[in-house]
Amino acid sequence: METPSNEVFRDSIATINEEGKRSWIFPKKPSGPLYEKRKVVSYFLLAFLFLSPFIKVNGNQFLMFNVLERRFNIFGFPFWPQDFHLFVVSMIIGVIFITLFTVGFGRIFCGWICPQTIFMEMVFRRIEYWIDGDRNKQMRLDRQKWDAEKIRKRLIKWFIFLIISFLISNIFLAYLIGSDKLLRYVKEGPSEHLGTLIPLAIFTGVFYFIFAWFREQVCIIACPYGRLQGVLLDTKSIVVAYDHKRGEGENGRKKFRKNEDRQALGHGDCIDCFQCVHVCPTGIDIRNGTQLECVNCTACIDECDTIMEKINLPKGLIRYASEENIEKKTPFKLTARMKGYIAVLVILIGVLLGMLALRNDVEARVLRLPGQLYEHKENNIISNVFTYKLVNKTSETIEDVSFKLRGIDGTIKLVSATGEVTVDAQGLAEGTMFIEMKQSAIGGDKKKIRIDVYSGEQLIETTTVSFLGPRSFN
C-alpha cells in the first residue's frame, strides 16, 4: 500500500539518508526556560549517579548491583538471592509504573531522566558546543579540510570524550563490584587487577562509541523502550506536540512578513522558520506529528516560544499536549486504561510493602546431606546428618549462634572445632550438624521437626526439616 503523501516522512528516519548512509545531525544549541530546568534536573541526577556508590547507610553501599556475587543494596537495604521474590515484585512495579507513566505522559522519561539523554545532551553535546561552536560552526568544521584547527579541535574533543567515558565506566564498576573494592583496586594499581581492567577498557570503548558516534541512534534504533511507544501512546497521551490547528490555520503555514495580517489571510501561526527542526537532536520535524524518534527533550518548545515572542504571538505553538487536547481542546483526563494500571500498581506496592515488613534479617536453611538417610546407634538412638546455611542480612555480626529443637526430645551436635558459630555482618555461615533422637520419638519413618536458631538467648529464626528413621512394621 502506498504511503499517503502527508505521511511520507514516516518512510525513513532523519539520521539515515537515501543511500542508507548516516546523516549526521548538527542540532542548534538549545536555550530557554525548559532547557534551564532540564539542566538543573540533569545535574542533580548526574550528582546522584556519581555519588550514590560512595554513600553508605549503616555501613551498606547506598546502591549496589553486584551481579557476580549476587548481592544487591537498594537505598542502603541489602538484598540477598534469598530475597529474589522481592526483587521480582520490585521489577514488575517498575515496569508497570513506567508503562502507566508512558500511557499518560509519553516519552517524558527520555527527555528528563534517561541517562542516555542526560549524558548526550548535557555532557557530551555541551562539550562539543564549547569546542566546536554552535550548529553552523559545527557544519562548517565538518566540511573543512583536515587543517591544524580541525585536527586540534577533534583531538581535544575525542580525548575529553574518552576521559569521560572512562569515568562513567568506573562509576558503573562501583555499582557492580562495590565502591570499596574499586577504590582498593585503584590503590593497588591496574597491573594487579588485569581481569577488571579489561572489562573496564571494553566498557570505556562502548561508552565512547555511543556518545562520540552512535548518539541519537540509541533512542531511535536500539532502545526497546522507544519501540514501545507505538503501542503505549494513544490520542490522550500528553507528548511534545505541535498545535497543527493553530500553526496551519486554514491556508497553511507561511513565512513571516512584517505588517501582514496573517489571520485575515487565513494563515496559521507557524512562520516556517525551521528553528524547531534545527534544534532537534534527533533531526525530526515535530510539525509532522508525533513520531517515534521524538525523545520529548522540549528543545523545540523553547525554540518555538522564542520565535513566537519575537513576532508577538502567544507562546505554546509547540507544547506538552495530547492529540485530543489539540483537536477538541479537552483537558487531560484519566482514561480507563490508566485507572487499571493505577489499581494494579497500588495492589503491587501494597504486596511489596507487606513482603518487606515480613522480611527476616536472618535467613536459616537446614538441608539433609545428599545421599544420607539415617544411622541407627546404641540405645535405639537414630541420627541424621544435615548441612546448615545462615545468611546475615544486617550490618552487624551475629555471635553465639546455637540451634535448638522445639517441642521434641533430642540433641543437635554441630561439627565445629570450637563449637561456636558466628555470622559476619552481610555474611554467610555454613556447616554440618547431627540431630539425634530416640526411635520412639519419631513415631514412624519420617517426622517433621522444628529448629530454632538463637543468638545468645534471643530467638532469631526458625526453620523446619524432615527427620528420617527406620520403617516400623508393627
> Whole-number minimum distance, CB 341 to ligand SF4, in Å?
24
Query: 287 or 393, CB closer to ligand SF4?
Result: 287
CB 443 within 8 A of CB 408: no
Burial 43-58 (b: 16+ CB within 10 A, else e): eebbeebeebbeeeee
Query: 319 or 393, CB closer to ligand SF4?
Result: 319
* AA identity, residue 414: L
Query: 221 or 273, CB closer to ligand SF4?
Result: 273
> Whole-number minimum distance, CB 110 to ligand SF4, in Å?
8
Query: 305 or 363, CB closer to ligand SF4?
Result: 305
Query: 182 or 292, CB closer to ligand SF4?
Result: 292
Give the length of the chain: 474
Query: 212 or 273, CB closer to ligand SF4?
Result: 273
> Whole-number minimum distance, CB 296 to ligand SF4, in Å?
5
- CA 166 and chain centroid, separation: 20
Query: 286 or 405, CB closer to ligand SF4?
Result: 286
Query: 132 or 303, CB closer to ligand SF4?
Result: 303
CB 431 within 8 A of CB 387: yes
Provide long-range contacts, Cβ within 8 A and 24+ apart, for 407-412.
Answer: 407/450, 408/437, 408/441, 408/447, 408/449, 408/450, 409/437, 409/438, 409/441, 410/435, 410/436, 410/437, 410/438, 410/441, 410/449, 411/435, 411/436, 412/451
> Whole-number minimum distance, CB 7 to ligand SF4, in Å?
17
> Whole-number minimum distance, CB 269 to ligand SF4, in Å?
7
CB 373 within 8 A of CB 471: no
Query: 168 or 300, CB closer to ligand SF4?
Result: 300
**φ, ψ for residue 300, nearest 5 deg:** -70, -25
Query: 281 or 410, CB closer to ligand SF4?
Result: 281
> Whole-number minimum distance, CB 248 to ligand SF4, in Å?
10
> Whole-number minimum distance, CB 3 to ligand SF4, in Å?
20
> Whole-number minimum distance, CB 113 to ligand SF4, in Å?
14
Query: 159 or 274, CB closer to ligand SF4?
Result: 274
CB 446 within 8 A of CB 391: no
> Whole-number minimum distance, CB 294 to ligand SF4, in Å?
3
> Whole-number minimum distance, CB 18 to ligand SF4, in Å?
21
Best CA proximity match to 215, nearest among 260, 305, 277, 282 = 282
Q: What is the DSSP letter of 417?
A: S
Query: 272 or 324, CB closer to ligand SF4?
Result: 272
Provide long-range contacts, Cβ within 8 A and 24+ apart, for 369-378.
Answer: 369/432, 373/468, 374/468, 374/469, 374/470, 376/439, 376/470, 377/436
Residues 6+ away with beta carbon under 8 Å from 132: 138, 141, 153, 157
> Whole-number minimum distance, CB 306 to ligand SF4, in Å?
8
Burial 189-222 (b: 16+ CB within 10 A, else e): eeeebeebeeebeebbeebbebbbebbbbbbbee
How far are the Cα atoms of 195, 371, 421 from residue 455, in angstroms, in the given order?
A: 40, 31, 9
Residues that bind ligand SF4 (CB under 6 A): 240, 242, 247, 270-276, 279-282, 284, 286-287, 294-300, 303-304, 307, 317-318
DSSP per-residue codes, 97-118? HHHHHHHHHTTHHHHHT-HHHI
> Whole-number minimum distance, CB 134 to ligand SF4, in Å?
15
Q: Do strands 375-377 and 398-406 pair parallel, antiparallel, or not at all (unpaired)? A: unpaired
Q: Residue 328 CB: number of other CB atoms within 10 A?
A: 10
Question: What H or E segment, with its residue span, contains residue 401?
Answer: strand 398-406
Best CA proximity match to 171, nearest among 182, 187, 160 = 182
